[in-house]
Structure 1
Amino acid sequence: MTPDNAEPDLAVPADEAGVRYDLDGPVATVTLCRPEVLNAQTPAMWDELRNISRKLPGDVRVVIVRGEGRAFSAGLDLSVARGAGDSSLAVLAQLSPAECADRIASFQSAFTWLRNPSLVTIAAVQGHAIGAGFQLALNCDMRILTEDARFSMAEVTLGLVPDLGGTKRLTELVGPSRALEICVTGRRLHADEAERIGLATAVVAAGDLSGSVADLTAAVLAADAGAVAEIKALLAGAPQRTYAEQDRAEREAQTRRVRELLGPGE
């Protein structure tokens, strides 16, 4: 990993969208960079996240998602949601049900590419990760939290539902009963609870966040890329499979690995 004070191989400066993309060999870092509003998210940011997903080089193996400043993301920018723009709640309400669903699908695609089997994605979370911020972290494979981190699925406080790809991962991690409680209360979960119930991969001191993420990234990169992709796919599909189906998936994955490593007939 490139040290914090070093120049990466490629850096695209932050623009008005409020998202920065840095590339350092097989590692891409996506930074929400609206620290003055705690990285509150807008549709323009989601457009840029989608753009980043399209321009990732094929040799990228790890994507790190982080927030600039003292928070990961305070969630949806309410000034946009309550405004008069094309993606405001008022405008969405005037669309047909199909058009509204299509618009939301475009928002979701800014998040769901982080579940791509060929990538390992890591959220580096400090401070608040609320609503859309929580769901952005949930779409990542792993979440490293600082001790001051706070999660909250706050959509219910606006009379809305979580709709950015977070509900399935949340349910898989904590179970349907706890997921329901988290979503309908909108309460804030401290880092220690997040770790206890399986939402956090690790909790570290604030000063250790960058180093811990770098160590985890290095460990992922040290593993065989093909094996990592197969393992991620096996684990992602496991909840939908029976034991027999999972056994078969393991056999098929291992066969592909052996043939890839040694070649047929060797």
Structure 2
Amino acid sequence: MTLEPVLDKDGVRLTVEDAVATVTLTNPAKRNAQSPALWRALTQAGRSLPGSVRVVVLRAEGKSFSAGLDRRAFTPEGFDGEPSFQDLAQGSDEDLDATISAYQDGFIWLRSPDLVSIAAVQGHAIGAGFQLALACDLRIVASDVQFAMRETSLGLVPDLTGTHPLVGLVGYARALEICATGRYVQADEAERTGLANLAVPPADLDAAVRDLTTALLAAPRDALIETKALLQGATSRTLAEQRAAERAAQGRRLRDLLPPG
């Protein structure tokens, strides 16, 4: 069955089948290198989701999930019609902040409270590619995966919303070491440290994602939304605050489950 894409532009394709949306990176010849145009397409994909969507699968064509930022960003010319890094650095603080914020919009929607996002990651996921995988709630990786955060070694910082989930998943010390050294994190370490929920042979990646998607859809939607909100907020609440949040959420669920009348 071939689905008509809801969106297909700038290296991003969105298809929707019932409650599942699939966002695919579609430039394997460039190892799905990222650009401002791709980030805008990701933002548009998030805004194009029908309200019926409960699960978003983020995947990529080819041998690499994403090799990171397209190197043209580091040239004085940059991308056609886009401000180069040099241009951004010479602009005002307000313009620079607004530009990076717009780039981040392509990533942040994957954490939306009313859906669960799964990254299916194979091969290289470097820099912006690593951060795109981190933007998802869950990650299933192929055994050939290689994560790396290379921004610091280039004199930059990870700025595409990846630092918060990275620290949450592996802790401050390991996150600092991964970012500061720029080293590769292989599949076994990713699974052991919580970066990946599951590591499977490359040939089994799609099947593993389908199995997880099926399991997520089996849970009642409102219960899953409430549970996700509880877990997302747990680290910022005290135990007493979390207990209160649990009670309030359960109260809403019990009332919703009452038969009408």
Which TM-score bucket, shorter chain as reference? over 0.9
What is aligned with 1:3?
Answer: none
Of 109, 121, 124 in structure 1, the residue corresponding to residue 120 of structure 2 is 124
What is aligned with 1:214?
Answer: 210
Of 177, 193, 212 in structure 2, the residue corresponding to residue 197 of structure 1 is 193
Whole-Å Cα distance in 1 between the matches of residues 6 and 49 of structure 2?
Answer: 12
**RMSD between aligned alpha carbons?**
1.3
Return the letter of the residue paired with 2:97.
A
Instruction: Report percent identity of matched pairs.
Output: 54
Alignment partner of 1:187: what SS? Answer: coil
Alignment partner of 1:11: what SS? Answer: coil
Of 12, 25, 28 in structure 2, the residue corresponding to residue 19 of structure 1 is 12
Whole-Å Cα distance in 1 between the matches of residues 166 and 159 of structure 2?
Answer: 12
C-alpha contact (below 8 Å) 2:33/2:70 kept by paired residues:
yes
C-alpha contact (below 8 Å) 1:72/1:129 kept by paired residues:
yes
What is aligned with 2:26?
Answer: 33
Query: Please, what TM-score do these two structures have when normalized by structure 1?
Result: 0.94
Alignment partner of 1:154: what SS? Answer: coil
Matches within 5 A, 1:154-165: 154-165=150-161
C-alpha contact (below 8 Å) 1:72/1:127 kept by paired residues:
yes
Of 222, 241, 248 in structure 1, the residue corresponding to residue 244 of structure 2 is 248
C-alpha contact (below 8 Å) 1:81/1:87 kept by paired residues:
no
Pair 1:212–1:59, CA change in 2 (3 A): same
Shift of 1:94: 1.2
Alignment partner of 2:151: what SS? Answer: helix
C-alpha contact (below 8 Å) 1:43/1:87 kept by paired residues:
no
What is aligned with 1:260?
Answer: 256
Alignment size in residue pairs: 258
What is aligned with 2:141?
Answer: 145
C-alpha contact (below 8 Å) 2:7/2:45 kept by paired residues:
no
Shift of 1:78: 1.1
Alignment partner of 1:44: what SS? Answer: helix
Tell whether 2:18 aligns with 1:7. no
What is aligned with 1:172?
Answer: 168
> Which runs of no fewer than 5 residues in structure 1 stay unpaired?
1-5
C-alpha contact (below 8 Å) 2:6/2:48 kept by paired residues:
no
C-alpha contact (below 8 Å) 2:72/2:78 kept by paired residues:
no
> Which runs of no fewer than 5 residues in structure 2 stay unpaired?
none
Matches within 5 A, 1:80-95: 80-82=73-75, 83-85=77-79, 86-95=82-91
1:100-136 Cα offsets, whole Å, 9 max, x none, are 0110000001000001010100000000000000001
Return the letter of the residue paired with 2:178.
I
Return the letter of the residue paired with 1:211.
A
